[in-house]
Structure formats: C-alpha cells, structure tokens
Amino acid sequence: MAHLFICPNCGNRSTASERTAGFRTQAKACGKCGFGFLFELLDDYYPAPNAAFFVCDRQGRLIGLGRGSTELTGLTEERVIGRSVQEVLGLRFESGDDHVATALEWGVRVLNKPVEVNAEGDLPAQATADLFPAYDDDGGLLVVLTPKG
C-alpha cells in the first residue's frame, strides 16, 4: 500500500515515492504549490471542497493557514500565527472533549467529530473536525474543518 500525503495549502495528494524521488533523501515540499508541510494519511481521505485547513506546531499553536481557512473564519495569518488553535477558532466539541489535545498527546487521528467553531469576531458555526498528527520529528497537527449545511 502506498503512503498517501496531503498538502494543507492546496489539497494536492501525493504518495511517499513521489516525495523522495530522485537523488535526495529529504522529503520534498508539495509538488503542486511548494508548501513546506505535508501530512501523511494512514487511510484514504478526501476532504470536502469547502474544507478549511489549519497547520499547528506540537503545542497546538497555529503556524500556517491553508486552503479555505480565511473563507471560513475571516482571519488572516498575520492575526493568528503563534497563537493557540483552540483560542483562535474557539473550538467547542459536542462531548466537551479536547480532541486537539488528544491528537497531539497520543499522536492519533481524530476523525468526524462535530464541533462548534467560534472564530474571533465571527458568529458560531457548526462543522466537522478531522485532526491529523504529524508523524515526523517536529510533531504538529493538521486541523481540517468542514462547515455543515
């Protein structure tokens, strides 16, 4: 089975063999847009066309906004980089659990979780959250939010 990767900036999907092709042993950035962070998908995953991507470091601080994030929240990178994803997006999961902390602490994917998103200065909106931990030495987290309705 090929290892699949997804770019949070443009949504391009690639395989592990494409990431290390050629003479280099260091993995490449996105082959389509050049974004430096790619996340490995252990199973086949297709985000919805209106999904928003947020890239976090190992402490859950935002380090990049990807495709659809500004459209969903109205926020720009300049306003949010370095701040907690929970604080910026006001994530409230249906069960009261902190799925962001779970994904970061245990290094596990958390999929299809109902969440209320209340980004700064915006009205609350319902969404579905998919969280993907980074499996490299740097750690980190990809948060994918798909608006409902």
Q: How far apart are CA 30 and CA 24, in angstroms?
A: 15
Q: pTM surpassing 0.85?
A: no
Strand partners, 65: 54
Largest interatomic CA distance in the chain:
50
Decide if pLDDT at 116 tops 90: yes
Nearest to 121 by CA among 57, 55, 76, 68: 76
Proportion of the chain above pLDDT 90, given as a percent: 52
Which domains are seen in the chain, by residue range?
Answer: 4-147 (3.30.450.20)
Q: Tell me if 32 sits within 8 A of 44, measured CB to CB.
A: no
- Model confidence over 29-51: pLDDT tens digits? 888 888 887 887 767 778 888 99
At 25 the pLDDT is 58
Q: Return the structure tokens found at 18.
A: 């494409």
Q: How far apart are CA 32 and CA 5, in angstroms?
A: 12
At 80 the pLDDT is 93
What does pLDDT average to over the chain?
Answer: 86
